Amino acid sequence: MVPVKSFMVPVEKFVKVDRDTDVRSAATAMRDHNIGSLFVTRDKEIIGIVTDTDVVRRLVAVGADPSKTAVEQIMSAPIVTVEENKTLLDANDVMARDHLRHLGVTRGGKLVGMLSVRDLVVFLTNLPRQ
């Protein structure tokens, strides 16, 4: 089976925002980059992830003001991860178990990438049809 590292987005390509960034600015960045998640940093260290689902469930649904709410208040942390040599099936199992659409990828415990449901769909659509 195919390892996660074959389809992950490397950490160097992550779109990141500082933990103090307001949610409105973060949502604009997601829209502008056509992505559903941003990594949240403190002093350049990744401390969490904020997704479009987090914005809906933890901000919009409770009536909070996106201009006055920092991403740190609605982010998911710690990031759920899978080792880079695990299979895509293993990653899918973790995503299904934890109801996640984004999964951190680690090498020796260090975050080196991210895998999304979208990445899994790309893999599946490129499989040979029988």
- Going from the N-terminus, what domains does the chain have, and what CATH number goes with each? 4-125 (3.10.580.10)
pLDDT of residue 36: 92
Compute the Cα dihedral for 45, 94, 14, 9 and give only its sign.
positive
Average pLDDT, the chain: 94
Which pLDDT belongs to residue 1? 80
With H, G, I as helix, E, B as strand and everything else as coil, classify residue 7: coil
Stretch 79-91: mean pLDDT: 96
Mean pLDDT of 73-102: 96
**What is the separation of C-alpha 75 from the centre of its chain, rounded to a whole number of angstroms?**
10
pLDDT score of 121: 87
The answer to whether residue 125 scores a pLDDT higher than 90 is: no
The residue-averaged pLDDT of 74-83 equals: 97
pLDDT of 129 strictly over 90 = no
pTM: 0.88
pLDDT given for residue 130 in this prediction: 66
At position 59, the amino acid (one-letter code) is L
